[in-house]
Amino acid sequence: MIQNMTENQITLHIINALKENEKSTFDSIVDELQPYDIAQIYESLPDEHRTHFLLFLNMDLLANLLEELNKEEQLEVLNKLGIEKTGKVLDLMDNDDLASLLNELSPKRIEQLLSGMKKEESLIVQNLMNYPDETAGRLMTNRFVWIRDYYTIREAVDKLKSFADFAETLSYLYVVDQKRKLVGVVSYRDLLIAEPQEKIRNIMYERVISVSVDQDQEDVAQTIQKYDFLAIPVVNEENVLMGIVTIDDMIDVVIQEADEDIQKLSAAGKAIDFDTKAIVAAYRRLPWLILLLFIGVVSGSIISNYSDILSKVVALSFFMPMISGMTGNTGTQSLAVIVRGLISNDINKKIVTHVIIRELAVGLIIGLTCGIFITLIAYFWQGDPILGFVVGSSLFFTLIIGTLSGTIIPLILYRLKIDPAVASGPLITTLNDIFSLFIYFGIAKIFLTHLL
């Protein structure tokens, strides 16, 4: 009935069903919805209907709903459910989602929430939370079906059937030996097309690509992306299968990591989104701004050293912001190319040399073009060819330096295992600012007698 309705129409139908207390209508609507839709509808429901809505959902749907909400909303829902239902719902949640819900809550609150859960489920989550943030161990789920290598196809399918409600909808079954070590993988499709009495061992694929529990989430995402997998098994040091990481979580990781890169590159500080409170956002942005402020003061003191030239040739000050702005900008351009390139390239000496030479060439072309432009502009505007030459040649040199520092500094930081996205910005800005002023006033000083 609801196939072609918009979300608003569905919401209205839901509200009606709630008002009329028609559980069967409600169920028939919700039955056709995706978890994401249910969450959207919950969020758009007026407050007075929310509790009723939650009461009408069964435990599975409640768990699905929770997985789609943000943390604040999750806690709101759990409050409305009460302790007993909370335990049951948490039992049903994917343990990776549950771990991220519990993350950053107070130990007391965590204990409270876990108290209503089954012992085994709560242990699994607590184990998961022992892995550091942003690692494969933290993101993995145990909602998957593993099979033994000595199973027949029929046995594997039977196991799959009995766990059907429990396991994530995926395309692979991982095969383990007696010690739970990962020894192979088969796809659902392989199961469908093989003869029922065939042994798993004979149809499985033995070179299983896996990641280790402590591997960084960015690595995991990269591996899944490279191999076009839908999921990847997670193993410990002994190659024992601990869980799986699924591609849908990895899309979130890729987006999150890109956001982080962007925020670091634009120095907005980590983790600011539309829901961040002003005071928190300001707090996260301020350190970098204050750093910039001091850099600005350093530049200012360099300028003050040349105040005699400046007071003699005031026109020099007209081009000062342009030169430092342009230098800073080329540096950031190169930085962005390097930071994103580091993600998708295997870095070796050959590539590094190639990129540095490439950026040097880019700097030369850019410097020459912009240098000639500004020489002409400065000449025609101020009517002084020497001033034009001073400004143009300064820009030429500073653009080359800007490009090179934007290339070499992040590469060095990467080598030293410091995140280039976060650390390069201030360093490059500082150095470029200082270099550009020295070059500008240095060249101006040489030609001072001609400028007067």
DSSP states along 250-307: HHHHHHHHHHHHHHHHTT--SS--TTS-HHHHHHHHHHHHHHHHHHHHHHHHHHHHTH
Please check whether residue 65 is in contact with residue 85, taking contact to mean a CB–CB distance below 8 angstroms: no
Nearer to its own copies, 84 or 195 (CB): 195
Sheet holding 172-176, edge to edge: 146-148, 172-176, 182-187
Q: Which residue from 314, 416, 449, 452 is in contact with its own copies, where contact means CB under 8 A?
A: 314
Does residue 303 interact with its own copies by CB under 8 A? yes
In the bound complex, what is the minimum distance in angstroms from residue 263's beta carbon to its own copies? 6
The nearer residue to its own copies, 44 or 79, going by C-beta atoms, is 44
Least CB distance to its own copies at residue 422 (A): 13
Which DSSP letter does residue 237 get? T
Among 297, 412, 418, 446, binds its own copies (CB under 8 A): 297
Count of residues that bind its own copies according to CB under 8 A: 121
The verdict on 241 binding its own copies (CB under 8 A) reads no
Residue 428 Cβ vs its own copies, minimum distance, rounded to whole Å: 11
Minimum CB separation of residue 223 from its own copies in Å reads 9
Cα four-point dihedral sign 153, 155, 158, 163: negative
Residue written as token pair 């749907």:
61
* Residue placing its CB nearer to its own copies in the complex, 117 or 250: 250
Contact 152, 196 (CB under 8 A): yes
Alpha carbon distance 61, 81 (integer Å)? 13
221/390 Cα distance (integer angstroms):
50
Site map (CB under 8 A) of its own copies, residues 144-163, x = contact: -------------x--xx--
User: Shortest approach of its own copies to residue 104 CB, angstroms?
Assistant: 20
Cα separation of 402 and 139, whole Å? 40
Residue among 75, 105, 240, 310 that touches its own copies (CB under 8 A): 310
When the beta carbons of 310 and 443 are compared against its own copies, the nearer one is 310
- The correct pick among 55, 59, 123, 293 for binding its own copies (CB under 8 A) is 293
What is the spatial order of strands in the sheet that 211-212 belongs to? Answer: 211-212, 231-235, 241-246
Our CB check for its own copies shows the closer of 127 and 438 to be 438
Calpha distance 173→160 (Å, rounded): 9
- Binding its own copies (rule: CB under 8 A), the pick from 28, 181, 296, 447 is 296
Q: Is 270 in the site for its own copies (CB under 8 A)?
A: no
Minimum CB separation of residue 376 from its own copies in Å reads 11
Query: What letter represents residue 288's amino acid?
Result: W
Query: Which residue in 74, 215, 334, 375 binds its own copies (CB under 8 A)?
Result: 334
